[in-house]
Amino acid sequence: MGFLKAFYGALFTVGQFIQDFFLLAIRLYWGWGFFQAGLSKLQDIQSAIGMFTKLGIPYADFSAHLVGGVECVCGGMLLLGLGSRLISIPLIIVMITAYFTAHSEAIKGFVTHPQVLVSQSPFYFLMTVLTVFVFGPGRISVDGFLDRAYFKAGRV
């Protein structure tokens, strides 16, 4: 029994140690992905508006600018780990909306072909922002620095 307790304790310690590096890695990779996706929409806004119109998204002009801005700004903030849980909310909304518009066939076929749902591009983005929302950005982030500097020090 002592061996199992020590083994589990070691696994827990290793997991805790790599958690911050894991969260940093996914924030950097997928934050950059969000930033690039938003920037490409904003740089070629007419194509984005055309795609949104084709998908039947209301107010395609406004929606394309909004989604491009959200992806670009929130993606940059995700990279830094700044306001991570807060900025996860609009990104979650954008990804769920993407599923129900651009990837609606994957939603409809979820029961019979679940692998199609998880193979769509919004899946990984959505899982990333859900992970950051649930677990936070990790200690290697602006939020982590602010948390250590101000909140846990009792200055705020």
Phi, psi (5° rounding) for residue 51?
A: -65, -45
The domain ranges of the chain are 21-151
Q: What is the value of pTM for the model shown?
A: 0.87
Amino acid residing at 16: Q
Per residue in 26-71, pLDDT (tens digit) is 999 999 999 999 999 999 999 999 999 999 999 999 999 999 999 9
* CA–CA distance, 129 with 28 (Å, rounded to integer): 12
* Phi, psi (deg, nearest 5) at residue 30: -80, -30
